Amino acid sequence: MSLRVGETPLTAALLLLLSPPHGPVSPQPGRALDCLGHSAELAFAVEPSDDVAVPGQPVMLGCKVEGTPPVRITWRKNGVELADSPHSTVLANGSLMIHHFLLDGGGSPSDEGDYECVAQNRFGLVVSRKARIQAASSGSGAYKEPTILVGPENLTLTVHQTAVLECVATGNPRPIVSWSRLDGRPIGVEGIQVLGTGNLIISDVTVQHSGVYVCAANRPGTRVRRTAQGRLVVQAPAEFVQHPQSISRPVGTTAMFTCQAQGEPPPHVTWLKNGQVLGPGGHVRLKNNNSTLTISGIGPEDEAIYQCVAENSAGSSQASARLTVLWAEGLPGPPLNVQAVPVSSTEVRVSWTEPLVNTREIIGYVLHIRKAADPPELEYQEAVSKSTFQHLVSDLEPSTAYSFYIKAYTPRGASSASAPTLASTLGEAPAPPPLSARVLGSSTLQLLWEPWPRLAQHEGGFKLFYRPASKAAFTGPILLPGTVSSYNLSQLDPTAVYEVKLLAYNQHGDGNATVRFLSLRGAAERTALSPPCDCRKEEATNQTSTTGIVIGIHIGVTCIIFCVLFLLFGQRGRVLLCKDVENQLSPPQGPRSQRDPGILAPNGAGRAEWGPLGRDGKHVDMKELEQLFPRAGAVQPLPTPTQDPEAPALCEVTQLSMLPLRGLSLLEEMPSEAPLPQDVGPGLPSEGPAAQPAPSGP
């Protein structure tokens, strides 16, 4: 009896017994049949294929089987089942990994040959096609693209475990395997290993090791590469950062527990009271993602053990704390007859009577206030004197319901809360809405205001009236909802002035109106006088202004420089002016015996005397000199100057009467011992020091 592929002797016998009269049933290729001839769903999803291997590099033959578990997979080489050995490994998915492809030599058999994948379950077995593996010719140096045979898989681990990310690559020449993170962060070196095959091992993983890891196989000396990536997720079980602490509180006060936990993913916190889940409501509040438990107005029934449970997918932790309620003897009872009466749209008056018992130690009352629609955590309090049994609550919102209750306080604690009471503030008419207008056409005005959505909640809206100022009757009211913010008035007279009134109303009545007098002509003129912004023109103007400022700065600096130069040269000019006067007043040069004593000679005794010509080459006019420098007294002739060194020179007198004081100070500061100026020729001023005054005669 011949066996078909996928048959055993037992299977053949069963098929022969159960075959119909017209012949046996043939199994479908790649399918195993059970004892009743039904398909056992054992089939290949992936079969091995022919390949050319590089000696010394890994080779992987793919094989994946689908069928009724358990399924056993084995491999055959040249028809002989491969035995387990470190040289080759059958992976979890059924593929065969040859770690280092070998040829004949060295006492080890060659890995070349025909390989088959054999899959078997309790219903039968199937055999894959044959895949021929040949060695690449070492003499030809055949090039083979880098290929990643096994890449990293997605892993989810818990902290302190070891992560193994696989990466097996082949190619000719042998590729270089490297690892990196997709987010660009460094992998690190502590606890990191890369095995010779290319696998990455991370010991004692932490949450910081989570990320996408990329395995790259590079051909040496080139940029040719192949990559594969896998995600590593490291979870941390929930652990407490802050444990709840047991506390003791007087009755009527507030108790608070805090429980903070961390983990990856972030844990969820749940509270238990004596083992029962505790949710928010009443006087129990949960805040900050359930990390804070607040119990207000505690009583004997709140005394219990409170547990905090933090839980995530990696694990859970719990901690507990006890609340002890201190009940003092002689505490007052709750205040009685609490009543709340609205006074205005923003005020409510609350009144009460003192408790029936233990009132002598009361030191005050505390009024608890909140909006009736708000949760208890939005409650606020106001303190009241012990001698006062009513309190005016202000700064409330109009047409809003509020809840009130009160407690009496003593040095030993607070009383229980009074029964709550509700009251609503009075309503009020809305305020006048702001109103503006703009022109839409030759006969159309658009009125604009702010929408008030709350008006719709109180049966309100807007009322609009308008009329020409010359008429007595208004057109309107035009009723508009509170969500509307504009209205167009059309078919208006461009030459007329219109009076427009806009008011808001609600169930409490009409508010005050906003009145405007408008005309199409005036609005059009205002629009023309206020044209839209020409941003480009303004930008050019700003640039021109900036240029003008820069030019002005340059001009100002230049003016300052010129002023400094003018002052410097002006100072020197005043000194030269005195010398010029001396030159013009000097007598003609000649023998001393021939000099005319009638001629003014302020420096007559000096050796530096000027010629008969002035600086401009003209004779000096004595009349002009007398007009410029009048003689002291009536018509007394000046005495003939002598050689007395203590007599002042005429130039100094002239400086006192004609020159500024600064010029005088310059001449006075010159030392009297300076040598007399030398004669430098007619008509030229001396470049030396100024001439000293001639000494007076005995």
Tell me the pLDDT tens digit for each residue of 305-337: 999 999 999 999 999 999 998 877 778 888 999
Residues 6+ apart with CB under 8 A from 107: none
- Tell whether the model's pLDDT for residue 302 goes beyond 60: yes
CA distance 247 to 269: 20
Do 433 and 514 touch, CB atoms closer than 8 A? yes
Q: How far is CA 539 from CA 534, 625, 647, 677, in A?
A: 9, 66, 74, 68
Do 426 and 347 touch, CB atoms closer than 8 A? no
Among the listed residues 327, 308, 328, the one whose alpha carbon sits nearest the alpha carbon of residue 316: 308
pLDDT at 543: 56
Among the listed residues 140, 119, 177, 147, the one whose alpha carbon sits nearest the alpha carbon of residue 59: 147
Tell me the pLDDT tens digit for each residue of 266-282: 999 999 999 999 988 88
DSSP per residue, 324-360: EEE--TT-----EEEEEEE-SSS-EEEEEE--SS--T
Tell me the pLDDT tens digit for each residue of 473-506: 899 899 988 888 899 998 888 888 999 999 988 8
pLDDT at 544: 54
pLDDT at 141: 56
CA distance 684 to 616: 10
- Tell whether the model's pLDDT for residue 36 goes beyond 50: no
pLDDT at 651: 39
44 vs 38 pLDDT, higher one: 44
Do 479 and 494 touch, CB atoms closer than 8 A? no
Work out the pLDDT band at 40, boundaries 50, 70, 90.
Answer: low
Domains and CATH numbers, the chain: 38-142 (2.60.40.10), 145-238 (2.60.40.10), 243-326 (2.60.40.10), 339-424 (2.60.40.10), 435-519 (2.60.40.10)
Q: Which residues pair with 463 in a beta bridge?
A: 479, 503
Which has the minimum average pLDDT: 133-147, 175-189, 599-613?
599-613
Q: Per-residue pLDDT averaged across 368-393, rounded?
A: 89
Secondary structure class of 194 (helix, strand, coil): strand
CB atoms within 10 A of CB 488: 10
Tell me the pLDDT tens digit for each residue of 589-624: 444 434 443 433 333 333 333 444 444 444 445 554
Q: Per-residue pLDDT averaged across 406-415, rounded?
A: 86
For all residues of the chain together, what is the average pLDDT? 75
Secondary structure class of 182 (helix, strand, coil): coil
pLDDT at 430: 83
The burial class, CB within 10 Å (0-12 / 13-18 / 19+), for 251 is buried
Residues 6+ apart with CB under 8 A from 381: 366, 367, 368, 369
Percent of the chain with pLDDT over 70: 70
314 vs 529 pLDDT, higher one: 314
CA distance 235 to 156: 7
Percent of the chain with pLDDT over 90: 27
Work out the pLDDT band at 398, boundaries 50, 70, 90.
Answer: confident
Q: How far is CA 368 from CA 59, 253, 353, 381, in A?
A: 79, 13, 16, 5
pLDDT at 618: 45
140-144, 391-395, 436-440, 517-521: which is most confident: 391-395
- Tell whether the model's pLDDT for residue 65 goes beyond 50: yes
CA distance 690 to 698: 25
Among the listed residues 546, 548, 602, the one whose alpha carbon sits nearest the alpha carbon of residue 579: 602
Which has the minimum average pLDDT: 49-63, 232-246, 261-275, 469-483?
49-63
544 vs 28 pLDDT, higher one: 544
Work out the pLDDT band at 264, boundaries 50, 70, 90.
Answer: very high
- Tell whether the model's pLDDT for residue 338 goes beyond 80: yes
pLDDT at 10: 39
Tell me the pLDDT tens digit for each residue of 624-665: 445 544 554 444 444 444 444 444 443 333 333 343 434 333
Work out the pLDDT band at 87, boundaries 50, 70, 90.
Answer: confident
CB atoms within 10 A of CB 481: 13
DSSP per residue, 427-442: P-PPPPPP-EEEE-SS
| Per-residue DSSP letter, 209 | G
pLDDT at 670: 39
pLDDT at 501: 92
Among the listed residues 239, 224, 284, the one whose alpha carbon sits nearest the alpha carbon of residue 257: 284
164 vs 330 pLDDT, higher one: 164
pLDDT at 154: 93
Residue 73's region, left for phi above 0, alpha for psi from -120 to 50, else beta, is beta
pLDDT at 574: 59
Backbone angles phi, psi at 650, to 5 degrees: -65, -30
Which has the minimum average pLDDT: 12-26, 148-162, 384-398?
12-26
Q: How far is CA 106 from CA 102, 103, 109, 607, 666, in A?
A: 10, 9, 8, 129, 117
Among the listed residues 607, 581, 602, the one whose alpha carbon sits nearest the alpha carbon of residue 663: 581
